[in-house]
Amino acid sequence: MSARPAILFDERAHRYSVNGVPYPSVTQVMQRHLEDFSGIDPATLEYARIRGQHVHAAMALLVREELDWDALDPTLRPYIEGGRRFLEESGVTVIASECRVASVRLRLAGTLDLVAHWRNAEAVMDFKACDVMPPSVGPQTAAYERLYCLCYGGAERRRYCVQLKPGDYRVTPCADKNDWNIFQSALNCHQWMQRHHANAA
């Protein structure tokens, strides 16, 4: 396995650079090529985006046992309580949280929510504060799993979506063997468009 790349993340701009080169994120590729929110009000989308960011940040603190519950936004608390139930009841052993991963070969970077030992195997898990699991979570977790393997080696990990609901949770396996192929197709399109725009400039 080659040396892991140097990953820098600009939180304000939400941009990654790897060994000094700007790379698209898994999320950027997903949003541009695999998700269609054209029928949803932009204000609703922005609210969901910000809530998702805050939920992920709170879950990262919860996993590290650093969450200040008294300072938590009341609108987020029900979802984080669902996350606490998951951590307490599922029997997961946390390996890594908010783990930044990247591949020079793929020219791709991202931050996966959780790597854990669960049911006698390592697994990549993605938290979603939603009522219905989005179909794009399969390709998304496949991208994170592939990046994690390229960074840290080892066999292919299992993938799961952990839906956080008010005071509850649901774990759904992401087991479609086509998930990586779907994401890679989206990544190829993204990189083709980047080259096209660069050549046209």
pLDDT reading at 52 higher than 90: no
The pLDDT value recorded for residue 197 is: 65
Supply the CATH number for residue 153's domain.
3.40.1350.10
Residue 191 inside a domain? The answer is no
Residue 2 inside a domain? The answer is no
Residue 32 inside a domain? The answer is yes
The pLDDT value recorded for residue 2 is: 57
Residue 34 inside a domain? The answer is yes
Q: Tens digits of per-residue pLDDT, 109-128?
A: 999 999 999 999 999 999 99
For the chain, what is the domain count? 1
- In degrees and rounded to multiples of 5, residue 23 shows phi and psi of -125, 145
pTM score: 0.92
Residue 57 inside a domain? The answer is yes
pLDDT reading at 179 higher than 80: yes
Return d(Cα 113, Cα 106) in angstroms, integer: 20
Please give the average per-residue pLDDT across 138-152, as a whole number.
97
Domain of residue 23: give its range: 7-182
The string of DSSP codes covering 85-150 is HHHHHS--EEEEEEEEEEETTTTEEEEEEEEEEETTEEEEEEEE-SSS--TTHHHHHHHHHHHHHH
The pLDDT value recorded for residue 200 is: 64
Say if CB 148 and CB 115 are below 8 A apart. yes
